[in-house]
């Protein structure tokens, strides 16, 4: 009687560029499958009685499917046909932006800390027409002012600017004190990659207010998606068979080309899987009778 050989697989999958370099462990993978697609040529029996006179089965393609559970920058880049750039922690000072009440303000990099936001109005100028909503800063002081009555500024700057929320007439324009140019910590929220200005902000308008932002961005990785046509890889499965007390098993795929992922869930209630499919291609560098040009499977006895 033949010995029953069952299989429950586990192990590590390594990927390396065929052009050279290390074979990198891709992390947790909960699905790894090969699928062979055949094309069948059939010759009908035309001499009576029906049926087939002959048939030929041709291998059409061999596809590989995997579900990555380790969402590393390298795995994401491969899935999105991209490249990975290192983000270095650095301090950014007085970066100019336009902020909006009720709006999110993206910043460079990721994980900003030590964030300060300051309204950045233009300096006061003489005999200049101002529209309602424009902001200005006097020659001295730390407060800024918003135009509440449009008009042309005077030939000389007002000698006294209110600092109690009051107004000042400047030619035919009127300015209202909006407080200090620096926003307090309660006047904005630090997010994962920027700041959010609450809708009820009194300093930042819904139509846009110039600001300057200082912060420190964290170390990280930047994935530039869809910039590569798709590299070719060698895939190696270094595994074992749990159904045979951990007997060793390996699969070596010599030339693998991945398609971009068709499913990348960015919000959800469960751990994300990253499904990938690839084609197993012929490796012309492998020659000899009985030598596979696609892949080999090794099993310990």
Per-position DSSP letters for 177-242, written without gaps between them: EEEESBPPGGGSEE-SSEEE--TT-SSS-TT-EEEEEEEEEPPEEEEETT-S---EEEEEEEEEEG
What is the DSSP secondary structure assignment for residue 79, as one 8-state letter?
Answer: H
Residue 298 has pLDDT above 80, yes or no: yes
In the numeric block, the tokens 């059939």 are attached to 42
Residue 1 has pLDDT above 80, yes or no: no
For 3-56, how does the pLDDT look when each residue is reduced to its tens digit (9 = 90+)? 778 989 999 999 999 998 999 999 999 999 999 998 899 999 999 888 989 999
64, burial (CB in 10 Å: exposed 0-12, middle 13-18, buried 19+): buried
For 185-235, how does the pLDDT look when each residue is reduced to its tens digit (9 = 90+)? 999 999 999 999 999 999 999 999 999 999 999 999 999 999 988 789 999
Q: What is the mean pLDDT of the chain?
A: 94
CB-CB contact of 48 with 55 (8 Å): no
Within a 10 A sphere around the Cβ of 141, how many other Cβ atoms?
A: 13
- Please give the average per-residue pLDDT across 86-98, as a whole number: 97
d(CA 188, CA 194) in angstroms, rounded, equals 10
CB-CB contact of 92 with 214 (8 Å): yes
Alpha-carbon torsion angle 153, 156, 160, 166, nearest 10: 0
Q: What's residue 270's pLDDT?
A: 93
Higher pLDDT, 53 or 1: 53
CB-CB contact of 223 with 157 (8 Å): no
Within a 10 A sphere around the Cβ of 125, how many other Cβ atoms?
A: 10
CB-CB contact of 297 with 237 (8 Å): no
Residue 167 has pLDDT above 90, yes or no: yes
**H-helix segments, 48-152:** 73-79
């Amino acid at each position: 009687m033949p010995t029953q050989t069952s299989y429950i697989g586990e192990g590590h999958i390594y990927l390396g560029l065929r052009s050279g370099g290390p074979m990198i462990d891709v992390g947790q993978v909960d699905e790894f499958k090969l699928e062979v697609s055949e094309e069948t040529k059939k010759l009908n029996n035309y001499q009576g009685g029906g049926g087939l006179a002959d048939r030929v089965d041709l291998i059409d393609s061999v596809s590989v499917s995997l579900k990555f559970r380790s969402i590393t920058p390298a795995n994401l880049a491969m899935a999105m046909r991209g490249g990975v750039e290192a983000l270095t922690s650095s301090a950014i000072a007085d970066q100019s932006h336009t902020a909006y009440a009720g709006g999110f303000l993206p910043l460079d990099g990721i994980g900003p800390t030590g964030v300060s936001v300051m309204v950045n109005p233009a300096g006061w100028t003489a005999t200049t027409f101002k529209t309602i909503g424009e902001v200005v800063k006097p020659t001295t002081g730390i407060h800024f002012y918003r135009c509440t009555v449009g008009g042309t500024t005077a030939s000389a700057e007002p000698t006294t600017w209110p600092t109690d929320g009051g107004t000042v007439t400047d030619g035919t324009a009127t300015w209202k004190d909006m407080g200090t140019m620096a926003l307090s910590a309660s006047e904005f929220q630090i997010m994962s990659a920027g700041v959010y200005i609450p809708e009820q902000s009194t300093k930042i308008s819904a139509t846009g207010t110039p600001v300057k932002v200082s912060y420190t961005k964290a170390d990280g990785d930047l994935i530039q998606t869809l910039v590569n046509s798709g590299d070719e890889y060698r895939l190696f499965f270094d595994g074992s068979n749990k159904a045979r007390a951990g007997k060793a098993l390996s699969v070596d795929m010599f030339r693998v080309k991945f398609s971009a992922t068709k499913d990348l869930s960015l919000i959800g209630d469960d751990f994300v899987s990253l499904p990938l499919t690839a084609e197993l291609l012929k490796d012309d560098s492998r020659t000899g009778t009985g030598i596979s040009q696609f892949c080999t499977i090794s099993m310990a006895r």
